[in-house]
Amino acid sequence: MATAAPPKVSEAAAPTYDREGKAGGERLTATKLGEELGLSSRKVNLILAELGWIEKFTKGWKLTDHGVKQGGKEKTAHQSGASYVDWPRSLLSNKVFLADAQELRGGSSSSPDAAESPVSNKPQVEDGRKRYPADYRAVDGHYVRSRAELAIDNWLYMQGIVHAYERKLPVEEDAYCDFYLPESKVYIEYWGMEQDASYAKRKAEKQSIYKKYDLKLVELADAELENLDDNLARLLIPFGVKCE
């Protein structure tokens, strides 16, 4: 006599186990986070990956060290064996996560917790950059603030390296990088006004932020710009960035 096949169990409802094999409590998967924010689980995972909190695995998603600091826990779906990560509900009040979610949605977040911690959908430019409008148009269409940044942006484009300009750092502090390489999670800073006391102070502050959060940073000064082909490639290769 044939027996009925067991019902399929979804990722959100499947029994879950952490790396030590211990059963976990109720937490929010990407699916549940997406339901709260009006996004698909795929888009939620893309946000988490861009922030450097998870990374693509052979079958599913793998937690990174930065994700551990955000309270993520790596789990395995009992039936499929796929790995995924679930998160504490407090992630719904994380300003960095919400800012990216809002940007992807093109509007304010629907999360109740988000209402208590509003985040502007439009990036705020740091004080030091307000004096310098983005008037230089790069080959890829980015508008940057100096000829040096123009050279860097064009070099990244010609190398076929996907990059963003003035991306907010995934930290609570109000800080933006010059360039961000999402595939390798590398940040690039060009320090071009070190003779200015206020600029030098801000440089030191930003360097401490990169160090505090253990973010991958490439630093450029005027000396590196003289031979960008060799110097930037040399600085990026240790992070696994392929350059021609």
Please say if the pLDDT value at position 207 is more than 70. Answer: yes
As a whole number, mean pLDDT of residues 44-53 equals 90
Query: Do residue 80 and residue 160 come from a single domain?
Result: no
pLDDT at 188: 98
Give the Cα separation of 218 and 234 in Å (integer).
Answer: 10
Q: Is there a domain that residue 3 lies in?
A: no
- Cα–Cα distances in Å, from 37 out to 80, 93, 121, 123, 180? 26, 11, 14, 20, 25
Q: Tell me the per-residue pLDDT of 172-197, one tens digit each, with 9 for 90 and over.
A: 888 999 999 999 999 999 998 878 88
How large a percentage of the chain has pLDDT more than 70? 79
pLDDT value at 155 more than 50: yes
Asked which of 121, 153, 181 is the last residue of a domain, the reply is: 121
Adjacency order of strands within the sheet including 186-190: 164-165, 179-181, 186-190, 216-220
Verify that 101 and 136 share a domain, yes or no.
no
Residues 52 and 148 placed together within one structural domain of the fold: no
86 & 168 share domain? no
Three state DSSP letters for 149-198: HHHHHHHHHHCCCCCEECCECCCCCCCECCEEECCCCEEEEECCCCCCHH
Q: Residue 184: inside a domain, yes or no?
A: yes
Task: Give strand pairing partners of 168.
Answer: 176
Residue with tokens 């509900």: 89
Is the same domain home to 159 and 56? no
In a domain, 5, yes or no: no
Residues 131 and 233 grouped into a single domain = yes
- Identify whether residues 187 and 217 lie together within a single domain: yes
Residue 56: its pLDDT value, please?
Answer: 85
What's the mean pLDDT when you consider all of the chain? 81
Q: Give residues with Cβ within 8 angstroms of 32, minimum separation 6.
A: 12
In a domain, 52, yes or no: yes
Look at the chain and report how many structural domains it folds into.
Answer: 2
Phi, psi of 23, rounded to the nearest 5 degrees:
-65, 140
Claim: this prediction has a pTM higher than 0.85: no
pLDDT at 52: 87
The pLDDT tens digits of the residues spanning 54-97 come to 988 888 899 998 899 899 999 888 888 889 999 999 999 888 89
Q: DSSP label at 74?
A: E
pLDDT in tens, 85-118: 999 999 998 888 988 888 887 754 444 443 333 3
Which of 121, 156, 172 lies at the terminal end of a domain, its last residue? 121
Per-residue model confidence (pLDDT) at position 222: 92
Same domain? 62 vs 106 = yes
Same domain, 235 and 135: yes
In this structure, is residue 244 part of a structural domain? no
Look at residues 121, 138, 171 and tell me which one is the last residue of a structural domain: 121
- Do the domain assignments include residue 4? no
Separate counts of helices (H) and strands (E) for the chain: 10, 10
Does residue 197 share a domain with residue 106? no
Residues 228 and 131 in one domain: yes
Residue 6 inside a domain? The answer is no
CB of 201 closer than 8 Å to CB of 194: no
> Is residue 152 domain-shared with residue 92, that is, in the same domain?
no
Domain span at residue 40? 11-121
| CATH for 164 | 3.40.960.10
In a domain, 27, yes or no: yes
Q: How far is CA 160 from CA 54, 94, 132, 181, 232, in A?
A: 24, 32, 27, 11, 14
User: Residue 22 pLDDT > 70, yes or no?
Assistant: no
